[in-house]
Amino acid sequence: MNSSILYREYDWGSDEYGQALILRNRLLRRPLGLCLYDEVLSAEKDFLHFGAFQEGQLLATLLLVPEENGLYRMKQVAVEEAFQRQGIGLGLLQFCEAALRGKGAVGIVLHARKTAEPFYVKAGYVPTGEPFTEVGIPHQAMEKRWG
């Protein structure tokens, strides 16, 4: 893993948040014929926002939504194409898990795109239920609990 990568939380509405919106729209929405900016983004004000940065540039991002019973829902995980398969996404995931443990969380649930399922399995997440379609593509519910 690259030691020049800095993992940290950032604020909704910040410059980093603006970078994350651009990344998420380009990688997660546009390929599906959707536009992130058509969605209600004000709800994200109450989410936790985490990113991987190198020299101030956002390389990867994800959102965590507080749920009931000490769980968080992970959403909108995106890593710049040029930095994929280099351990940055896994590093960001591990950083977030440690941060959530510090907040007393007991685990993370998520809806993984089927193409990303092997990444989450490698990170210790377990499939739950049957595969389903979301935003027009196959997904698998997954979770990781530690509490």
- 22-79 per-position pLDDT tens digit: 999 999 999 999 999 898 899 999 999 999 999 999 999 999 999 999 999 999 999 9
Closest CA to 8 of 42, 48, 36: 48
* Model pTM above 0.95: no
**What's residue 26's pLDDT?**
96
**pLDDT of 3 above 80:** no
**pLDDT of 2 above 70:** no
- 117-133 per-position pLDDT tens digit: 999 999 999 999 999 99
Residue 6 or residue 3, greater confidence: 6
Secondary structure in 3-state letters for the chain? CCCCCEEEEECCCCHHHHHHHHHHHHHHHHHHCCCHHHCCCHHHHHCEEEEEEECCEEEEEEEEEECCCCEEEEEEEEECHHHCCCCHHHHHHHHHHHHHHHCCCCEEEEEEEHHHHHHHHHCCCEECCCCEEECCEEEEEEEEECC
Given a contact cutoff of 8 angstroms between Cβ atoms, the answer to whether 74 and 62 are in contact is: yes
Cα 64 from Cα 44, distance rounded (Å): 9
- 85-102 per-position pLDDT tens digit: 999 999 999 999 999 999
**What's residue 112's pLDDT?**
96
